[in-house]
Amino acid sequence: MRSVSSYINREKLLLKNLKTELVAVNPKQPLRRGYCLIHKDGVPVTSAYELKAGESVGFKMWDGSGKMDVTEVNYDKEI
């Protein structure tokens, strides 16, 4: 019985660790910390160089989504 109990405890620990890893790599997790995902025509925007003043883009936050108009784009020259 002891080996079965030990096996079950190891498996529980393994599942707990896997859950922690899955939560960490979930792309929606940063949204809960105040970040948002920006997309243009359903495609994620990953750089300010993909945006132009006057165009409309979508955004996704942890509790909803919407559309917004780009009024100005500033590029980070240090990157």
CB within 8 Å of 29: residues ≥ 6 apart: 23
pLDDT at 78: 76
What total number of domains does the chain contain? 2
Q: Return the H-helix or E-strand segment holding 15.
A: helix 2-25
**Same domain, yes or no: 47 and 68:** yes
Judgement on whether residues 45 and 67 belong to the same structural domain of the protein: yes
Q: What is the pLDDT of residues 20-75, one digit of tens each?
A: 999 888 878 888 889 999 999 999 999 999 999 999 999 999 999 999 999 999 99
Domain that holds residue 18: 1-33
Clarify whether residues 28 and 48 are in a common domain. no
pTM, 2 dp = 0.64
Mention every residue, 6+ apart, whose C-beta is less than 8 A from residue 53.
70, 71, 72, 73
Q: Does any domain span residue 79?
A: no
- Domain co-membership, 27 together with 46: no
Distance of alpha carbon 31 from alpha carbon 7, whole angstroms: 37
- Same domain, residue pair 23 and 7: yes
Residue 78 counted as domain residue: no
